[in-house]
Structure 1
Amino acid sequence: MRAEIAVIGGSGFYEISNVQMRKFDIKTPYGIVIGVRIGEIGGKKIAFLARHGESHSIPPHRVNYRANIWALHSIGVERILATSACGAINRKFKPGDFILVTQFLDFTKSRPSTFFEGGKSGVAHIDVSEPFCPQLRKVVKSVAENLGFKIREGGVYACMEGPRFETPAEIRALEKLGADMVGMTLVPECVLARELGICYSSVAIITNYAAGISRNILTHSEVLEMMKKKNEEIKKIFLSAIQKLPGERNCSCPKSVEIFGHSSKNSS
């Protein structure tokens, strides 16, 4: 049971069709991860994980992010491609757009956000100057454009706790802070991947306009409807990117972790 690349599907993205995959449950120190699918594309072993569960039964603030990332790491995953459904704050973005996220603002409240809690696990202060792998972003952008899909590179994602949608006042504040889009799942997922030296890139799918910008009442049905429309496109982008990825990682993602106070260092 090994894989080198993983896809994490967000809202509305619950499987990779046309790829034969076996399903596994993986035990981790943080809990059991149910339904990790493993298969092969172009000679590369891949894993697929539905972030919210296959029936969308897990809300964003209850996702076991540590277990998910640890499970993928434990089977050998070195690269993760993820999707995130987002509301547009930047008026240049519109529903249906693909955005390669480059920065984030973290407004989550109660989520465990590190593997390094001190004690036996040690302490780590990772660099997230560039939170999303530049090598992965470059490949995703290239294949998307070659497939004829428009994709924007460069966007600040504001991650909220959820599961409620934001108030118009919150959106106005986020806009002043430089946020281009708002969602509920990217953090701590991308940070945990970095802590384990895993390359991570997220394609945000703009599903609606954010509160106060949209003239409509926000609903999750609206989000799922747009994701359904864009599902095949994002799958084509990811499957093509997986096949185009070079074998060697030339980024700094694996070198971003420096651990202090680890028990193995103090045992002598």
Structure 2
Amino acid sequence: MKIGVIGGSGLYDIEGLSDVKEVRLETPFGEPSDAYIYGKLGDKEVYFLPRHGRGHVYLPSEVPYRANIYGFKMLGVDCIISVSAVGSMKEEIKPGDFVIVTQYFDRTKNRPSTFFGNGIVAHIPFDTPTCPLLNEIVYKACVEEGIPVHKEGTYICIEGPQFSTKAESKIYRSWGVDVIGMTNIPEAKLAREAEIPYSAVALATDYDVWKEGEEVNVKKVLATMARNVENAKRMLKRVIETIRPEDIENSPAKTALVGAIQTKPEYISEEVKKRLWLLLKDRI
């Protein structure tokens, strides 16, 4: 079984991997954020990718999301677990808590969010944007590791790189969202288009700016982030050790493109077929 892991702020590796090597790819959408770090953990193969690049060189809007996800498709991963730092929008989600993301509210503006277009049209279902089967496995791993975790939550994704104003933060909070971040969109959309089961774990570092007296403080955020990263590594290790192919074989992601491609096959050019062959080969 091949497992893809995307690390966010502060998470740049996975401990315990053997046979470690770097894999560099060129995709139809350019180069991914960095080399994929390949390794084995027991009988599982793992491909880890730092979303912002090692050294944190990409702004949230600059991350090559399409290349990152298409690269995972090229590598043949069976699922992707995404880890990212977020702000909490609810009192009960404390800094240091994990949230399993089950819904998104998209406030991004300047990011390509689909593999399609330029000669081919597809509309995927996205009502359940993360894989419920994979989410359950990740949630169970958090519980078994004693990590404070919330089983479901809505993630509002803003463009950044600036944090919210207090007015924005209070409005988002009034909408009932649970966490706020800058990177899960379009990542989740692209994983669904690539028919790869995707689970997102949001690691709360602060209360954003809505809570008076708890404004974002870099020193406090970094301390919480360090604790989150250690917990994330323990969670990932347990997920990788326990997950089985049959656990996610009925994921809704695996048939996302069935009936989704609207362009008639005879109108799909050879250039488009070449560019998207990994997505189209079983769907046209």
TM-score, normalization by structure 1: 0.93
Match of 1:25 in 2: 24
Q: Is the 8 A contact 2:208 2:215 kept in 1?
A: no
Q: Is the 8 A contact 1:81 1:200 kept in 2?
A: yes
After TM superposition, give the deviation of residue 234 of structure 1 in Å.
Answer: 1.0
Q: Is the 8 A contact 2:89 2:210 kept in 1?
A: no
- In structure 2, do the counterparts of structure 1 residues 107 and 70 end up closer, same or farther at CA, with 3 Å as the change threshold? same
Which has the larger share of strand?
A: 1
Structure 1 residues without counterparts, runs of 5 or longer: none
Q: Is the 8 A contact 1:123 1:262 kept in 2?
A: no
After TM superposition, give the deviation of residue 7 of structure 1 in Å.
Answer: 0.6
After TM superposition, give the deviation of residue 213 of structure 1 in Å.
Answer: 1.3
Q: Is the 8 A contact 2:153 2:179 kept in 1?
A: yes
After TM superposition, give the deviation of residue 264 of structure 1 in Å.
Answer: 5.6
Structure 2 residues without counterparts, runs of 5 or longer: 271-284
- 1:122-161 counterparts in 2 under 5 A? 122-161=120-159
Deviations 1:144-181 (A, max 9, x none): 21222221111110000000000111111111222111
| Amino acid paired to 2:27 | T
TM-score, normalization by structure 2: 0.88
Match of 2:279 in 1: none
| Amino acid paired to 1:198 | I
- In structure 2, do the counterparts of structure 1 residues 72 and 219 end up closer, same or farther at CA, with 3 Å as the change threshold? farther
Q: Is the 8 A contact 1:13 1:227 kept in 2?
A: no
After TM superposition, give the deviation of residue 117 of structure 1 in Å.
Answer: 1.1
Match of 1:215 in 2: 213
Match of 2:2 in 1: 4
- 1:1-268 counterparts in 2 under 5 A? 4-20=2-18, 21-33=20-32, 34-119=34-119, 122-220=120-218, 222-248=220-246, 249-257=249-257, 258-261=260-263, 266=268
Q: Matched residue of 2:35: which SS? A: strand
Q: Is the 8 A contact 2:31 2:64 kept in 1?
A: no
Q: Matched residue of 2:192: which SS? A: helix
Aligned length: 264
| Amino acid paired to 1:185 | T
Q: Is the 8 A contact 2:87 2:204 kept in 1?
A: yes
Identity in percent: 38
Aligned CA RMSD, in angstroms, stands at 1.8
After TM superposition, give the deviation of residue 37 of structure 1 in Å.
Answer: 0.6
Of 254-263 and 58-67, deviating more is: 254-263
Q: How far apart are the structure 2 equivalents of 1:26 and 1:37?
A: 11
- In structure 2, do the counterparts of structure 1 residues 125 and 219 end up closer, same or farther at CA, with 3 Å as the change threshold? farther
